[in-house]
Structure 1
Amino acid sequence: MTSTPPAGLRERKKARTKAAIREHAMRLFQEQGYAATTVDQIAAAADVSPSTFFRYFPTKEDVVLTDDYDPLMVAALRAQPAGLSPIEAIRRSVRELFGQLPDAQWEQERRRQQLIASVPELRMRIQQQYADSITLLAEVVAERAGRPGDDFASRVVAGAVIGAALAATRDGRTMADGATYFEDFDRALALLQAGLPVGPPEV
């Protein structure tokens, strides 16, 4: 008789396979270029079949663009106290999610963001991801406020937050610059929370 692995074991094995595919893909992209790297090469390096690759990533682009941050952000936001304002709840969630990331994870993100910035088709696809992130964040903001999922005000809040994330990127910096980016993003959220007070520069 054969037994089915427990759900927790299955999920861990799937997570390891997904991480291995992504790791080998990024290595090959760095060594021989994104355009020159094929799905078959990535699958072979990760010791999986091409069909297994496509079970985890629908396209080659997705192996770069897919990350685990959105569901973690949603979970962190849902866990915040109900009485917090939307921006304060989001600030706390961002701190919890990104404030303690190890250096190795920031380095992985740096490589990923550099690749996205250098490949036109990835830059185009990331724009759609921003729109998807706004929709997802808006739904959770509305949920916390007891509003409908398509609430306009909640979508505006979510759009402002994603805009703040983009505005925190300066001089080619991305989220991968770790603490520096994280601090700037928090400052941007603080400005939103304060109602964007913009006046003449201090002398």
Structure 2
Amino acid sequence: MSGEGPSLRERRRAETRRMIQSHAMRLFTEHGYDATTVNDVARASGVSPMTVYRHFPTKEDLVLQDRYDPFIAARVAARPADEPLVRRIGRALVDTTRTLVEPGTRPSPEKDLLLARVRLMIDTPALRARHLDGQLATQQAIVDALLGDAPDPEPEFRAWAAAGACLAAMHVALTRWAREDGRPDLPDLIAAALAAAFDDDFG
């Protein structure tokens, strides 16, 4: 039945994406982003270059592309509608991150992948430039979750401002987390960055 979760084909597609991205992160980390080609990633992944490009249209996408925006948007939409915007968005970001990285003592492949991606994004100029595109897409997903398809100009303006400010605070937390080799608890670090920016509780 539809609506009960991803189909077998969708799950296999997602597994292929994760496998390709995982090999790409390993190669980029070991040999450098600029020295690694898409063909190198394809060979390491046991797939054709065409398969890599089908999942990741550009080399930059191997690092920057993720599927987090729908999770963030769903969390934002589920927050109480009467919450202040920055609290509603900020707590959704913290909750989403907590779900994704699974803090604790057990290994988390998602956490390891995210850490490798953030390190590359920080250290590679071409990726830093492209990162803005991804942030704008995340802002759009948050604004859509808050306002729907036909927002009024003033609420839309406030929503874009709040989303941009929250994501900027999150970026500061991600940068520190990567610089400290992923040792701090990332959701707590994001909550602390948001609290510093807005003088509010985001735990």
The answer, yes or no, to whether TM exceeds 0.5 is yes
The worse-fitting range, judged by mean Cα deviation, of 118-127 and 130-139 is: 130-139
Q: Choose from 147, 153, 166 the match for 2:151.
A: 147
Q: Choose from 112, 121, 136 the match for 2:117.
A: 112
1:77 matched residue in structure 2: 76
1:61 matched residue in structure 2: 60
Counterpart CA distance in 2 for 1:147 and 1:154 is 10
The 8 Å contact of residues 98 and 187 in structure 2, kept in 1 or not, is answered as yes
| Deviation by residue 1:62-106 (Cα, 9 ceiling, x = unmatched) | 010111221210122122233333223223322321224234232
Letter in 2 for 1:137: I
- CA positional deviation for 1:179: 4.4
Q: How much is the aligned-residue C-alpha RMSD, in angstroms?
A: 3.0
TM-score by length of 2: 0.78
- CA positional deviation for 1:127: 2.4
1:24 matched residue in structure 2: 23
The worse-fitting range, judged by mean Cα deviation, of 46-55 and 150-159 is: 150-159
TM-score by length of 1: 0.78
- CA positional deviation for 1:56: 0.5
Gaps of 5+ in 1: 1-6, 196-203
Counterpart CA distance in 1 for 2:45 and 2:156 is 43
1:9 matched residue in structure 2: 8
Counterpart CA distance in 2 for 1:70 and 1:175 is 25
Gaps of 5+ in 2: 1-5
Indicate the percent of aligned positions where both proteins have the same amino acid. Answer: 32
- Rg larger for: 1
The 8 Å contact of residues 177 and 189 in structure 2, kept in 1 or not, is answered as no
1:200 matched residue in structure 2: none
The answer to whether the aligner puts 1:134 opposite 2:133 as a matched pair is no
Aligned length: 189
Letter in 1 for 2:17: K
